[in-house]
C-alpha cells in the first residue's frame, strides 16, 4: 500500500457486531460508523436518521434572550430594522431569511450589503455612514460584525442598538453590541459550527418560539440555510447535517420564487438535489454577483414574489458566472506562472501579489493552488491591497494572520479561509513573515496529500446493497466525506481513455466477476501507465451512473497503485 494511503485504525469487533445487529446494517457500514465516532446505537441512529426535533433550542445560545427581547420590542413598536449583511452566499441568504421573517410581522426592513470591490468585508466606513443616516434604532448584522469593535461602538454611542450575528472567530476584544449571537463566543451552545445563515435561522426560531408562532413557514426557509451551510464549507455534522438534509428536501420543492428561478436557470428544476449541486452549481451562480458587482441583487432574488423579476436576476447571475470563470482562468494561469518561479521545496506556503488581479476572484484561485500544491496559498491584488487565502487542514490560516496583524490593515476568517487588506508597501514584508511562520509550523509530511481510507473490502463486497447503505451517510461534505474504500488486485478491463480535460475512465474486475466502471477525475496523467490486463490497488468512493433510466455502480477513484505483477 502506498505510503500516503492511511487506513482507518481497527475498532472493537464487539461494538461493530452490536451496532450491526441493533440497527440492521452490514458490518462494513457498522465498522465505518464506529470508526467515525458513532459507536453507540443512539449516536449511530441519530446520524443515520437525522430529525428536525434534534435541533437545539436557540435559547441555549448566549445572549439570545437579550436579542429576542430587543427584536420583540421592535416588532411591537413597528420599528424600522436594518439588516447588515455580507456579499457571499452565507451573508445574502442570511439577510434574505431575516428580511422574509420580519416582513411577516409587517415591519419596514432594509438590507445593506457592502460592495466587495469598493468597500470590502464587514461594517465598512461607508456602511456605517449609511446606517447612521437611515433613521433606524436597531441594526442586525448577519455573517459579519464580531471583529468590528470600533464601528459597533460608534453606532451604539449614537443611539443605534446593534445585534451582531456572526460565526467567524473573534478578536480578544468583543464589540460593545447590544447582543452578540455567535456559537464561538461565550460558550454554552452545544454546536460551534453553524454558518451565518444558520445563526440567523436560530434567531428566527427563537422569535417564533417567543411569540408563540407556527414554525412551519420558518422551516420552509431551510432551503436557504442548507444552501449557505454547504457553500460556506461548514462541517456537515450534528445540526448542520439536519439542516442540510431537510433543507435540500425543501429546496427540491421550494416555495421561494427566487430559488425557483435560479434552479430553472441552471437546469435543476424538478431535479433531485444533493450537496454537489449546492456547492458547485448554485453557489457559484450566487457568489458571482458579489464577486463582480452588487450582491444586493441576490437579496432581491431571494425576497421577491415577482417571478419575472426573479428570472431576470437569475439570468444575470448566470451570465456573470460565465464572466467570473473567464477572469478566474486568466488569473490562475498567471498565478501558476508565478509559482514556477518559486522553489517550492524551500517554501511551505505560497504568497503571490500582482497588479490587476480581480479581488472578487482571487479566493477561488487560491483554492485551486491549495488543491494543486497542497500548502496554504494567499493571493493579493497590488492595486487595492485586497487579499484572499485558503489553507490545508493542518494549518490555521486565521491564527497565522493574527500573528502578522501589525502588517495588515484588516483581516478576518477562520482556519481554512480568510481575507485581508494591506498597504502595498507592506506586501513584501508580510510575504516573508507569513512564509517564515508557515515554515516553522508545518512539517514536510503535512505537505503531502494523504488519502484516508475508511475500510478495505473485496471486489465481491462491491454491491448495490452496500451502495444503498452508504447513501444513508449523505449529505456528504466537510466533516462527513463519502466513505472511501480500498480494494486490492483489481484487473483493468478494456482500454482506459481520457475524457473531459484530464479525467480517466476505465473498467476493473475481480476474479470471476464482470467489469465495474470507474472514473478518476484529474487523474489523466496516470493513463499512460495504465493498460488492459494490469493489476492495480484502488481507493475509491461509491457513486452511481445513470443512463437511459438505468442506474449502475460507479467507482469514483481517488488514487491508483499499479502493481508490478
pLDDT digits (tens, 9 = 90+) for 219-248: 999 999 999 999 998 999 999 999 999 999
CA distance 547 to 542: 17
Q: What is the pLDDT of residue 120?
A: 78
pLDDT in tens, 111-154: 999 988 788 788 888 999 999 998 999 999 999 999 999 999 99
| Range of weakest confidence among 30-39, 193-202, 406-415 | 406-415
Q: With beta carbons less than 8 A apart as the criterion, state whether 263 and 217 touch.
A: no
| 550 pLDDT above the threshold of 80 | no
Give, in order, the Cα–Cα distances in Å from 27 to each of 82, 484, 538, 542, 554: 54, 15, 21, 17, 22
Q: State mean pLDDT over 57-78.
A: 96
Instruction: Give the three cell numbers for residue 257.
Output: 420564487
pLDDT in tens, 505-530: 999 998 877 789 999 998 887 777 88
Burial class (CB in 10 A: 0-12, 13-18, 19+), 270: exposed
Q: State mean pLDDT over 74-81.
A: 95
Q: What is the topology classification, in CATH, of domain 451-562?
A: OB fold (Dihydrolipoamide Acetyltransferase, E2P) (2.40.50)
Q: What is the pLDDT of residue 502?
A: 85
| 183 pLDDT above the threshold of 70 | yes
CA distance 316 to 301: 11
Of residues 287 and 171, the one with the higher pLDDT is 287
CA distance 102 to 123: 22
Share above pLDDT 70 across residues of the chain, in percent, rounded to a whole number: 99
Query: Is the pTM above the cut of 0.85?
Result: yes
Please provide the CATH number assigned to the domain covering 54-318: 3.90.1640.30
Q: What is the pLDDT of residue 548?
A: 67
CB within 8 A of 530, min separation 6: which ones? 492, 496, 504, 506, 536, 560, 562
- Residue extents of the structural domains in the chain: 54-318, 342-447, 451-562
pLDDT in tens, 482-504: 999 999 999 999 888 888 888 99
In 392-549, DSSP assigns E strands to: 410-413, 417-421, 451-453, 455-456, 485-499, 503-509, 516-520, 535-547
| 549 pLDDT above the threshold of 80 | no
Q: What is the topology classification, in CATH, of domain 342-447?
A: Diaminopimelate Epimerase; Chain A, domain 1 (3.10.310)
Amino acid at each position: 500500500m502506498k505510503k500516503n494511503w492511511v487506513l482507518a485504525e481497527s475498532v472493537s469487533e464487539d461494538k461493530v457486531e452490536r451496532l450491526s445487529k441493533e440497527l440492521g446494517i452490514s458490518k462494513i457500514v457498522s465498522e465505518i460508523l464506529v470508526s467515525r465516532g458513532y459507536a453507540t446505537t443512539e449516536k449511530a441512529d441519530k446520524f443515520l436518521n437525522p430529525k428536525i426535533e434534534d435541533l437545539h433550542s436557540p435559547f441555549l445560545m448566549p445572549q439570545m434572550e437579550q436579542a429576542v427581547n430587543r427584536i420583540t420590542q421592535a416588532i411591537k413598536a413597528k420599528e424600522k430594522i436594518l439588516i447588515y449583511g455580507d456579499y457571499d452566499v452565507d451573508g445574502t441568504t442570511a439577510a434574505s431569511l431575516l428580511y422574509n421573517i420580519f416582513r411577516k410581522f409587517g415591519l419596514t426592513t432594509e438590507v445593506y450589503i457592502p460592495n466587495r470591490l469598493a468597500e470590502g468585508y464587514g461594517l465598512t466606513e461607508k456602511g456605517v455612514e449609511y446606517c447612521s443616516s437611515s433613521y433606524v434604532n436597531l441594526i442586525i448584522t448577519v455573517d459579519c460584525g464580531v471583529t468590528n469593535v470600533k464601528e459597533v461602538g460608534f453606532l451604539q454611542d449614537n443611539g443605534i442598538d446593534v445585534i451582531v450575528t456572526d460565526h467567524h472567530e473573534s478578536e480578544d476584544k468583543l464589540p460593545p453590541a447590544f447582543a452578540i449571537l455567535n456559537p464561538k463566543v461565550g460558550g454554552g451552545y452545544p454546536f460551534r459550527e453553524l454558518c451565518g445563515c444558520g445563526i440567523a435561522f436560530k434567531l428566527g426560531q427563537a422569535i417564533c418560539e417567543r411569540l408563540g408562532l407556527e414554525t412551519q413557514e420558518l422551516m420552509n426557509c431551510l432551503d436557504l440555510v442548507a444552501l449557505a451551510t454547504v457553500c460556506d464549507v461548514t462541517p456537515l455534522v450534528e445540526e448542520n447535517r439536519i439542516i442540510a438534509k431537510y433543507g435540500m428536501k425543501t429546496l427540491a420543492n421550494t416555495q421561494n420564487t427566487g430559488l425557483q428561478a435560479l434552479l430553472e436557470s441552471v437546469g435543476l428544476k424538478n431535479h433531485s438535489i444533493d450537496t454537489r449541486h449546492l456547492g458547485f452549481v448554485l453557489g457559484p451562480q450566487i457568489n458571482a454577483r458579489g464577486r463582480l458587482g452588487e450582491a444586493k441583487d441576490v437579496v432581491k432574488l431571494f425576497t421577491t414574489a415577482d417571478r419575472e423579476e426573479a428570472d431576470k436576476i437569475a439570468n444575470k447571475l448566470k451570465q456573470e458566472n460565465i464572466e467570473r470563470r473567464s477572469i478566474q482562468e486568466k488569473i490562475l494561469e498567471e498565478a501558476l506562472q508565478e509559482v514556477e518561479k518559486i522553489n517550492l521545496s524551500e517554501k511551505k506556503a505560497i504568497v503571490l501579489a500582482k497588479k490587476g488581479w480581480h479581488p472578487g476572484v482571487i479566493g477561488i484561485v487560491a483554492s485551486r493552488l491549495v488543491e494543486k500544491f497542497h500548502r496554504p496559498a494567499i493571493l493579493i491584488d497590488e492595486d487595492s491591497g485586497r487579499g484572499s487565502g485558503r489553507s490545508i487542514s493542518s494549518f490555521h490560516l486565521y491564527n497565522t494572520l493574527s500573528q502578522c496583524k501589525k502588517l495588515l490593515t484588516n483581516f478576518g476568517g477562520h482556519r481554512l479561509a480568510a481575507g485581508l487588506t494591506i498597504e502595498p508597501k507592506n506586501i513584501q514584508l508580510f510575504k516573508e513573515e507569513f512564509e517564515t511562520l508557515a515554515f516553522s509550523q508545518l512539517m514536510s509530511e503535512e505537505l503531502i496529500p494523504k488519502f484516508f481510507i475508511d475500510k478495505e473490502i473485496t471486489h465481491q463486497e462491491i454491491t448495490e446493497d452496500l451502495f444503498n447503505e452508504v447513501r444513508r451517510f449523505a449529505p456528504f461534505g466537510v466533516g462527513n466525506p463519502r466513505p472511501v474504500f480500498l480494494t486490492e488486485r483489481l484487473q483493468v478491463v478494456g482500454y482506459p481513455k481520457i475524457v473531459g480535460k484530464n479525467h480517466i475512465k476505465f473498467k476493473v474486475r475481480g476474479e470471476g466477476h464482470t467489469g465495474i466502471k470507474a472514473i478518476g477525475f484529474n487523474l489523466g496523467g496516470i493513463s499512460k501507465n495504465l493498460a488492459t490486463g494490469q493489476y492495480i490497488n484502488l481507493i475509491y468512493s461509491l457513486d452511481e451512473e445513470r443512463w437511459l433510466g438505468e442506474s449502475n455502480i460507479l467507482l469514483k477513484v481517488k488514487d491508483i497503485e499499479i502493481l508490478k505483477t
